[in-house]
Structure 1
Amino acid sequence: MTKSPAPGPTALVEATGIAKRYGPTVALQDGQLTVLPGESHALVGRNGAGKSTLVTILTGLQAPDAGTVLFDGEPAPPLTDRDAWRRKVACVYQKPTVVPDLTVAENLFINRQPEGRGGFISWRKLRTQAAEVLDTWDVRVDPEARTADLKVEDRQMVEIARALSFGARFIVLDEPTAQLDNREIERLFTRMRALQESGVTFLFISHHLQEVYEVCQTVTVLRDARWITTAPVADLPRAALVEAMAGEALREKEAAEESVARAEVPADAPVMLDVTGLTSQSYEDIGLTVRKGEVVGLAGSSGSGKINLAETFAGLHTPTGGSARLDGRQLPFGDVSATLRAGVGCVPRDRHDQGLVFGMTIGDNATMTVLDRLGKYGFVGTERKRGFAEELIDRLDIHAEGPDQPVSDLSGGNAQKVVMARALASDPRLLVLINPTAGVDVKSKESLLARMDNAREDGTAVLVVSDELDDLRRCDRVLVLFHGRIVAEHAAGFTDHDLIASIEGVGETGPERGNGATSPHRPAAKEQGDSRG
Structure 2
Amino acid sequence: MSAIVEAIGVGRRYGPTVALADVSLTVAAGESHALVGRNGAGKSTLVSILTGLSKPDTGSVLFGGEPAPALGDREAWRTRVACVYQHSTVIPDLTVAENLFINRQPTRRGVISWPRLRRESRELLDSWGVAVDVDLPAGELSVEDRQLVEIARALSYGARFIVLDEPTAQLDSDAIGRLFSRMRELQDAGVTFLFISHHLQEVYEVCQAVTVLRDARHILTGPVEEVSRSRLVDAMTGETGGLTVVDAAGRERIGADTEDVLTAAGLSGDGFTDISFGLRRGEVVGIAGSNASGKHQVAETVYGLRAPTAGAVLVGGRPLPRGDVKAALRAGIGCVPRDRHHQGLVLGMSIADNTAMSILDRLGSGGLVAPRARAAVATKAIADHGIVASGPAQPADALSGGNQQKVVLARALASDPSVLVLINPTAGVDVKSKEALLGQVERIRAEGKAVLIVSDELDDLRPCDRVLVLRAGTLVAEHEAGWSVGDLVADIEGVVTDD
Distance 1:32 1:327, change over 3 A: farther
Structure 2 counterpart SS, 1:12: strand
In the alignment, what sits opposite 1:335?
A: 324
Report the CA distance between 1:297 and its aligned residue. 11
Is residue 2:221 matched to residue 1:218?
no
In 2, are the aligned partners of 1:283 and 1:483 still within 8 Å (CA)? no
Residue among 184, 194, 202 paired with 2:193 = 202
In the alignment, what sits opposite 1:51?
A: 43
In the alignment, what sits opposite 1:12?
A: 4
Structure 2 counterpart SS, 1:85: helix
Alignment of structure 1 residues 3-152 onto 2, 5 Å: 9-23=1-15, 25-29=17-21, 31-117=23-109, 119-152=110-143
In the alignment, what sits opposite 2:492?
A: 520
In the alignment, what sits opposite 1:488?
A: 461
Structure 2 counterpart SS, 1:144: coil
Is residue 2:183 matched to residue 1:192?
yes
Is residue 2:466 matched to residue 1:473?
no
In the alignment, what sits opposite 2:222?
A: 231
Q: How many residues align?
A: 444
Report the CA distance between 1:202 and its aligned residue. 0.9
Q: Partners of 2:168 and 2:61 in 1: how far apart?
A: 27
Structure 1 counterpart SS, 2:8: strand
Task: Name the TM-score, length of structure 2 as normaliser.
Answer: 0.68
For 1:420-455, what per-residue CA distance to the aligned partner results, in whole angstroms no more than 9, with x for missing partners? xxxxxxxxxxxxxxx895399xxx99xx79x97996
Report the CA distance between 1:367 and its aligned residue. 6.1
Structure 2 counterpart SS, 1:43: strand
Structure 2 counterpart SS, 1:148: helix
Distance 1:416 1:96, change over 3 A: closer
Q: Partners of 2:61 and 2:8 in 1: how far apart?
A: 7
Structure 2 counterpart SS, 1:57: helix
Report the CA distance between 1:110 and its aligned residue. 0.9
Q: Partners of 2:15 and 2:168 in 1: how far apart?
A: 33
Q: CA RMSD for the aligned pairs?
A: 5.4
Q: Partners of 1:207 and 1:284 in 2: how far apart?
A: 33
Report the CA distance between 1:200 and its aligned residue. 0.9
Q: Partners of 1:31 and 1:321 in 2: how far apart?
A: 56
Q: Partners of 1:415 and 1:177 in 2: how far apart?
A: 33
Q: Partners of 2:272 and 2:394 in 1: how far apart?
A: 28
Distance 1:86 1:512, change over 3 A: farther
In 2, are the aligned partners of 1:11 and 1:36 still within 8 Å (CA)? yes
Letter in 2 for 1:83: E
In 2, are the aligned partners of 1:314 and 1:344 still within 8 Å (CA)? yes
Distance 1:339 1:480, change over 3 A: closer
Q: Partners of 1:10 and 1:100 in 2: how far apart?
A: 38
In the alignment, what sits opposite 1:531?
A: none
In 2, are the aligned partners of 1:44 and 1:206 still within 8 Å (CA)? yes
Distance 1:305 1:415, change over 3 A: farther
Distance 1:19 1:173, change over 3 A: same
Q: Partners of 1:182 and 1:282 in 2: how far apart?
A: 18
Report the CA distance between 1:284 and its aligned residue. 11
Structure 2 counterpart SS, 1:249: coil
Indicate the larger mover: 121-130 or 78-87. 121-130
Q: Partners of 1:277 and 1:240 in 2: how far apart?
A: 46
Task: Name the TM-score, length of structure 1 as normaliser.
Answer: 0.64
Letter in 1 for 2:134: P
In 2, are the aligned partners of 1:283 and 1:484 still within 8 Å (CA)? no
Is residue 2:151 matched to residue 1:160?
yes
Distance 1:313 1:90, change over 3 A: same
Residue among 297, 302, 326 paired with 2:315 = 326
Distance 1:280 1:30, change over 3 A: farther
In 2, are the aligned partners of 1:50 and 1:226 still within 8 Å (CA)? yes
Report the CA distance between 1:109 and its aligned residue. 1.1
Distance 1:10 1:483, change over 3 A: same
Q: Partners of 2:165 and 2:271 in 1: how far apart?
A: 19
Structure 1 counterpart SS, 2:162: strand
Report the CA distance between 1:160 and its aligned residue. 1.2
In 1, are the aligned partners of 2:271 and 2:294 still within 8 Å (CA)? yes
Q: Partners of 1:48 and 1:227 in 2: how far apart?
A: 13
Q: Partners of 2:212 and 2:76 in 1: how far apart?
A: 28
Report the CA distance between 1:333 and its aligned residue. 5.3
Residue among 381, 391, 406 paired with 1:413 = 391
Letter in 2 for 1:59: T
Q: Which runs of 5+ in 2 are unaligned?
A: 381-388, 446-450, 466-482, 495-499
In the alignment, what sits opposite 2:404?
A: 438
Structure 2 counterpart SS, 1:80: coil
Q: Partners of 1:150 and 1:361 in 2: how far apart?
A: 35
Distance 1:17 1:277, change over 3 A: farther
For 1:201-234, what per-residue CA distance to the aligned partner results, in whole angstroms no more than 9, with x for missing partners? 1112233333322221112223344332211122
Alignment of structure 1 residues 360-379 onto 2, 5 Å: 368-370=360-362
Q: Partners of 1:128 and 1:454 in 2: how far apart?
A: 57
In 2, are the aligned partners of 1:296 and 1:463 still within 8 Å (CA)? no
Structure 1 counterpart SS, 2:52: coil
Q: Which runs of 5+ in 1 are unaligned?
A: 1-8, 257-262, 375-379, 399-410, 419-434, 493-507, 523-533
Letter in 1 for 2:404: A
Q: Partners of 2:19 and 2:86 in 1: how far apart?
A: 21
Letter in 2 for 1:343: G
Q: Partners of 1:321 and 1:22 in 2: how far apart?
A: 54
Q: Partners of 2:150 and 2:208 in 1: how far apart?
A: 23
Q: Partners of 1:252 and 1:66 in 2: how far apart?
A: 34
In 2, are the aligned partners of 1:278 and 1:286 still within 8 Å (CA)? yes
Structure 1 counterpart SS, 2:93: coil
Report the CA distance between 1:169 and its aligned residue. 0.6
Q: Partners of 2:279 and 2:55 in 1: how far apart?
A: 47
In the alignment, what sits opposite 2:469?
A: none
In 2, are the aligned partners of 1:304 and 1:484 still within 8 Å (CA)? no
Distance 1:200 1:22, change over 3 A: same
Distance 1:265 1:210, change over 3 A: closer
Report the CA distance between 1:97 and its aligned residue. 1.7
Q: Partners of 2:152 and 2:209 in 1: how far apart?
A: 24
Q: Partners of 1:24 and 1:61 in 2: how far apart?
A: 20
Report the CA distance between 1:479 and its aligned residue. 8.2
